[in-house]
């Protein structure tokens, strides 16, 4: 049985989810931002997944049918990528929507609204993107949020209930909700916002994890993984340049020995 066939059969702890990912190496199709393609592929390889940047119309839908998880990132939505995304989300494979700069620009905003009808397993974005996607805001400043995570909590819940999926709001404190459960995950390091691909690769890792566990657990595990790994990377880095490389090393190290992730989640749940 491949990773996708096993998806959603059980709720796994973050450590168990990362262990399952390393054992099965899920195939992740990325229709993603051309600015971050290389970094996203390397992040997936670091955690143990198999990346495939298949975004050509005529192939995207076919490939999504054999992939374990799909990422649709709207960072650079060319005409070809828009059509590839439409094909991929119809394949029935669990998929993650990253609505980059939605609300600010019309083409991607209309596409995101269209894709929502195909019920993503996870929506991952910053607070301004989530507010705009839910119809409650005009978006941020380009790819940067101008709203805080808690400001998007209501929008995140409504989006989760509307789509039947999970919404993950990234920020200084991440928020993950399925419309009923809400988990806030503190931690991480601000250097994540100073390298290209920090948030985009997080969405890709969620797509990898949704191939081996339920969407809520996938979003929580990926968010906690990035919080812990970014802290480790920042402690070793001299600045944004070395941080980008150190983050890949830290993702590999934490995914290989993920016990700390469960302890972090236990601490989060204990203070709620």
Which helix H or strand E contains 234, and what residues bound it? helix 215-236
Average pLDDT of 185-209? 95
139 has pLDDT over 70: no
124 annotated as belonging to a binding site for a ligand: yes
3-class DSSP state for residue 103?
Answer: coil
Distance from C-alpha of 19 to C-alpha of 213, rounded to nearest angstrom: 11
Confidence of residue 9 (pLDDT cuts 50, 70, 90): very low
Average pLDDT of 155-161? 96
Which residue in the block uniquely carries the two structure tokens 């990912």? 21
Average pLDDT of 232-250? 97
1 annotated as belonging to a binding site for a ligand: no
For residues 98 and 147, which has the higher predicted lDDT (pLDDT)? 98
Residue 153 tokens read as 């909590």
**Helix, strand, coil percentages, rounded to 5, for the chain:** 55, 15, 30
As a dihedral over the C-alpha atoms of residue 81, residue 207, residue 119, residue 14, rounded to 10 degrees, the angle is -160
146 has pLDDT over 80: no
- Residue among 28, 23, 61 nearest 44 (CA): 28
170 annotated as belonging to a binding site for a ligand: yes
3-class DSSP state for residue 72?
Answer: strand
Q: What is the pLDDT of residue 135?
A: 85
Average pLDDT of 67-79? 97
CATH superfamily assigned to domain 12-186+193-223 = Ribokinase (3.40.1190.20)
218 has pLDDT over 70: yes
Q: What is the mean pLDDT of the chain?
A: 91
pTM for the full predicted model: 0.92
213 has pLDDT over 70: yes
Confidence of residue 4 (pLDDT cuts 50, 70, 90): very low
136 has pLDDT over 80: no
Strand partners of residue 177 = 167, 182
13 annotated as belonging to a binding site for a ligand: no
Average pLDDT of 60-74? 98
């Amino acid at each position: 049985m491949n990773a996708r066939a096993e998806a959603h059969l059980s709720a796994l702890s973050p450590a168990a989810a990362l262990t399952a990912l390393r054992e099965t190496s899920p195939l992740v199709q990325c229709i993603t931002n051309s600015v971050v393609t290389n970094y996203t592929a390397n992040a997936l390889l670091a955690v143990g997944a198999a990346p495939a940047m298949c975004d050509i119309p005529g192939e995207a839908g076919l490939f999504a049918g054999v992939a374990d998880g799909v990422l649709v990132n709207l960072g650079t939505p060319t005409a070809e990528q828009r059509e590839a995304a439409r094909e991929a989300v119809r394949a029935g494979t669990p998929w993650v929507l990253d609505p980059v700069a939605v609300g600010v620009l019309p083409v991607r905003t209309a596409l995101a609204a269209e894709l929502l009808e195909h019920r993503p397993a996870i929506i991952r974005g910053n607070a301004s993107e989530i507010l705009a996607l839910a119809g409650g805001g005009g978006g941020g400043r380009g790819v940067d949020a101008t709203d805080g995570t808690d400001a998007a909590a209501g929008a995140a819940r409504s989006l989760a209930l509307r789509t039947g999926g999970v919404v993950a709001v990234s920020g200084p404190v991440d928020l993950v909700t399925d419309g009923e459960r809400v988990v806030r995950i503190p931690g991480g390091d601000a250097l994540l916002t100073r390298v290209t691909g920090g948030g985009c690769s997080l969405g890709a890792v969620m797509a990898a994890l949704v191939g081996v566990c339920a969407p809520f657990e996938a979003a929580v595990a990926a968010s906690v993984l990035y919080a812990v790994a970014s802290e480790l990377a920042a402690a070793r880095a001299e600045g944004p340049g070395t941080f980008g490389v150190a983050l890949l090393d830290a993702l590999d190290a934490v995914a290989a020995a993920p016990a700390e992730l469960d302890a972090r989640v236990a601490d989060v749940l204990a203070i709620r």
